[in-house]
Each structure stands twice: as C-alpha cells, then as structure tokens.
Amino acid sequence: MSTSTEALNFEAPRLGRRALWFRQIAAILRLEVRKNFIGKRAILLYLFAAGPILLMAALSVQLGTHQSNPNNIGEANIIFANLYEGLILRTIIFFGCAWTFMNLFRGEVVDRSLHYYFLAPVRREVLVFGKYFSGIVATLVLFTITTAGSLMFLYVGLGSSGMDYLSNGPGKGQAMTYLGITWLACVGYGAVFLVIGLFFRNPMIPALIAYGWELINFLLPPVLKKISVIHYLHSLAPVPVSEGPFALVAEPTPAYLSIPGLLIFTAAVLALASYRIRRMQITYGGE
C-alpha cells in the first residue's frame, strides 16, 4: 500500500509540471502568433504568400481563353506541378519559413527583448516549443492560403470542367496532397531555420547555404539526396515533375517513410534547439 502511495505522490507533481508546461506553451503561442501576424516583420511574409496567388490569377485569365481544349486540364496539372515545386515550395515556402523562424529568436536579440523571456519562470525548452508552434501557425495559415488559392485560380480559369475536376474528380485528392506537402514543408523547414537562428549571429549565410543544398539536390547522388528536406517533399508530389536532363535519378521515398522520416528529423532538430537554448547567453553589445 505504501509503495503505491509513494508512486502516486511522485506521479502527481510530474503531471502537474507537464500541465504547467502546456499552459506556458499555450501562453507563449498566443503572444507570438500576434507578433507573427501583425508585427513589422509580417509584411514581408504577406508579400511572399500573395505572390503565387497573383501569378495564378493572371494565368487563369489566359487559360480561360482556351476552355474548349480537352487537354487543358492535363496541361494545367503539369503547369501547376512545375510552378508549385519551382516557385511555391522551393522559393516562397523556403524563404518564408526562413524569415519567420530565424526571427523567432534572432529578431528578439536584435530588438533587445529576449532577456524578458529568460527572466520569466519558464523553462527554456518550453520557450522553444512555444515559439516554434507560433511560427507553424503563421506559416501554415498563410502558405495554405497560397497553395489553395493558387489551385483555385488555376481551375477557375478552366471554367466548369476545371471546377468539376477539382470538386468531384481527381483534383480533390491532388489538392489535399499539395496541402499536405505544404504543411510538412513548414514543419521541416521551420525546425531547420529555428536552429539556424539560435546558432548563428548572421543567419542569412547558413540559410543561403541550405538553399543552395536544396537547389542542387537533383544533381546529387541518391545517398546525398536523402540528406535534405526537398527530396522527401518531392517524393510526395501527386504529379511527377522532371528534374531536368542532368538530374541523377533516385527512387522516390514512399510516403510511409517520407512522412515519419520528416517528423523524426523535426523532433531531432527541436531537441538540438532545446540543447542550444539551455546554454545560450545574451550579449546585446555585438548586435
């Protein structure tokens, strides 16, 4: 009897601490989400998100003049697949996540406000997760709108056949897959850029190196291709996209490996961020 009582007494404080951590994460999340959506740095993020929608709106006007072409839906799928991977995924989402997540801590250092968090009775790991989830909320909302809005304008330009393909045909499944890829990209790239913002005083240089690595992924041998986020996202694409005549062919990683792999990678990177922040010292003088 005494043994079970001691176990309960030990478990209760531990459960209480977890409940406290969840409440603190929620409080940090609410505060940081407001910063991400209405702060001065949010303007560039809105411009990133709006660019592809405006481009697809202009393209839909051109597609609308050729609605009688029976091959137009197939052509539209190929157009969007290339635009999504080349512009939305590799550029807009990449740099949008870089801007958002690197500024979660680096922006606080530049603004000389990070010490307020460090003086609060909050574990630093809790601060990492609260800020990370706030970046996830901001990027998921905006880039979901980017992906869905671009798809909508594309098929609106095809008239009733395009809308029927999107709402009742294979287009619905393709749209959900593109949205899923967008969400995974925000989760994976977000963790990477959060760590870059914690480790480097000038995070733009490592961010550009990471961009170069993702950009030349198609030239890398199969083993090195898998040391990237874009390889797993590319493997999930519902409409295959050619990587060009100089690409080194590698077998796509199946979804049942790509998705858990990206999530495990994200968890490992967040663990690295938690390790880093526990040893982080604030020095505003050099900023």
272 assigned to some structural domain: yes
- pLDDT at 6 > cutoff 50: no
148 assigned to some structural domain: yes
Q: What is the pLDDT of residue 189?
A: 95
DSSP 3-state assignment of 182?
Answer: helix
3 assigned to some structural domain: no
pLDDT tens-digit map of 30-44 = 988 888 888 788 888
140 assigned to some structural domain: yes
Instruction: Work out whether the CA dihedral 16, 113, 39, 49 comes out positive or negative.
Output: negative
With both helix axes pointing from N to C terminus, report the angle between 2-38 and 124-156 in degrees, rounded to the nearest 10.
Answer: 50
pLDDT tens-digit map of 125-168 = 899 999 999 999 999 999 999 999 998 888 887 777 777 787 77
pLDDT tens-digit map of 163-196 = 778 777 788 889 999 999 999 999 999 999 999 9
Angstrom distances, CA of residue 108 to CA of 37, 38, 115, 246, 265? 16, 15, 9, 43, 26
What value does the mean pLDDT of the chain take? 83
The token duo for 165 is: 């393909």
- pLDDT at 4 > cutoff 60: no
- Read off the pLDDT band of 63 (50, 70, 90): low
55 assigned to some structural domain: yes
Q: What is the pLDDT of residue 146?
A: 95
Instruction: Work out whether the CA dihedral 127, 128, 133, 134 comes out positive or negative.
Output: positive
The proportion of the chain whose per-residue pLDDT surpasses 90, expressed as a percent, equals 27
12 assigned to some structural domain: no
pLDDT tens-digit map of 205-260 = 999 999 998 888 878 887 788 888 888 898 888 887 776 655 666 677 888 888 99
CA distance 243 to 13: 54
Structural domain that includes position 36: 27-286
- pLDDT at 198 > cutoff 80: yes
pLDDT tens-digit map of 277-287 = 888 777 655 55
pTM: 0.86
4 assigned to some structural domain: no
Structural domain count of the chain = 1
CA distance 226 to 140: 24
- pLDDT at 204 > cutoff 50: yes
* Whether the Cβ atoms of residue 112 and residue 136 lie closer than 8 Å to each other: no
Matching residue, tokens 């295959």: 240
CA distance 245 to 266: 32
17 assigned to some structural domain: no
